[in-house]
Structure 1
Amino acid sequence: MAFGSSDLAESGQQHVREYLAFLRRKREAIVSEVAAEFKELKETRLLDETYTIDEVGTLLDGLLDAVRASLRRELVEVSHSAALLLVQVLEQLDAPGAPGTASIDLDIPRTEDGDLLRAMATFENDAASGGRAALAVRAHVGKPIARALPTIGGTARDLDSAKESAAVSAERAMKLQAQLTAVLKDKSALGEQLEAERRKREDADAKLAEARAKAGGSATAHGGAAAMADEMRSKLLAATKERDSARAELAALREKGTAVAAGPAITAELERARQEASELAAKLHASEAALNGRLETSAPFKNVRTMLAKKNALVKTLRDQLEAAGISTGDIDAAAED
């Protein structure tokens, strides 16, 4: 490696600066082209919330093909531009009237020298910022290895193309790996959400079954209370019939008393019958009132009424919980009617 100032004149170094600026614009164009491919994929293909692994693979394969085609096209164009620039230099040296008998030796392998490439990067950055620093290394030292120029040039271009393709592929693989990792994380999160929703659904079904069971128990208790009330109503109806029968007998006795001539014995009998009928009617009224009072104030009736109130409140609470969980109570009503 020959460090120190380059033998290239200032005018030549200015040409190098201009050519580096040209290559910088080409690089930015390539980056913009690749970014446009990603943007197009995002805006035209990424429309759903979730994708399967096969769908993601298809999207990435399509993006890979598009980026590969764009890079190959731009890199080939840059290579051809560099070759045209070299042709311009050679044509000027071979032109009639060119000064002296200068010859050019091309040392293609030195174009991949790491120190030279870093020195050229420093020179480019200085030129891009408006500096005028001289090139700090010599790009050519001595004669190249004795090889045919076309063969060396073709091999170097193929090698450069292969290295660039490998670098692009490695970078693309890293990006695809990152995207795949993100997709797998999203899939895992979605699975956890589905599992949580499934557990919520199972809890809601369990509460629904419990509500149906409690509703069945409430109906049984209500049926027992109804049977007790029916029995009391039957007793009351029997007492009412006895009262009506006594009243009918009393009316018959009254009619009989007015139809027959009143004698002392008949009058006494009639009075006694009236008194018995009056006492019987009073007893019937008292029995009816006592029966109604016992029915309303009896401990079983109160217990049944309290239990029904609690069951109704529980059923209302369960209905509210089911509605809050997004489950309609229409199915419960239909099942209860069946």
Structure 2
Amino acid sequence: MADLGLSDHHQSCMGGYLRFTKYQRAQRLRSVDACFQDVKDTRLLEETYTSDEVVELLDSLADVVRAEVEGELIHATHTNSVLLSNVFAQAQKWHLELTVDTSNLENQELLEDVRKFEEAEAQGRLGIDKKPPARTLAPLGDQEGPTALLHAEIKRLTEENGEMKRRLELAESKVTDLAKTKAEMSLTLQTTSDELGRVRQTISSRPTLEEVSELSDEVEKMRLELSTKVEEKEATQEQLQSDLSLSKQRLAQVKSQLQLAEKELEKKFSQTGAYQNMKKMLGNKNDQIKALRKKLEIYEPSKEDIIEE
């Protein structure tokens, strides 16, 4: 009997899936047989045919069979995709990330093991229940105790992490806008200073005391207003930069707490009864294998023992 390295429950699931695929193969083969039988019943009505008629008949049959096979291959691909999505969905409930190694799909040794497993299952030699009870991985949120608390904490930290990222992006956007505004105001201040210089030159060429006083007061007022606006923008920019620094520190703390919570969750899972039972079952299996090997050495001595005799 082929050993796939799976538990009894998973081997039962494998057996059920192989029975399903065997039934599907039988249905597909019946469809192909029906295509040929349909040709026999509807097209082979004369005693003799020309070569062109035979070619046309075979081409027509090939198109029908091709369409039938292609449709069934697509259906098989979609069925396997649904099976993978179910497995991935159960793994995600335990915060596990599974991977698929497609390079092993053409491994002849593994394919041979599956073939032997299917033959043994078909002959009823696996010694497991043909219809295992339907069981799925329970989500952490459905349990009670520290595991549920860890799951809730991970969810809270994840949401807080996302909120901190959004606030960080908003703060960076505001800092960028303020930097652009500051540059524009600096340019405006420089332009005003240049204009003031030109006004002073004009006043010196047309020396009128009242005009000089009015223009000087107006220009000084404009300069004070621009300086005040620049100082306000700089103060706002410094405050945003301070908030941005605090947000980055808080984000780092949230990431650290999230990592600690995930490690604690893994630790709690290793202490659950299901994990301990699985570990105990593996130990029992190893002990049984060792005992069987000892019995095998008694009834089938090694080649070295035979040579010595």
TM-score, normalising length: structure 2: 0.39
Ranked by relative contact order (alpha carbons within 8 Å, sequence separation 6 or more), the top structure is 2
Rg larger for: 1
TM-score, normalising length: structure 1: 0.36
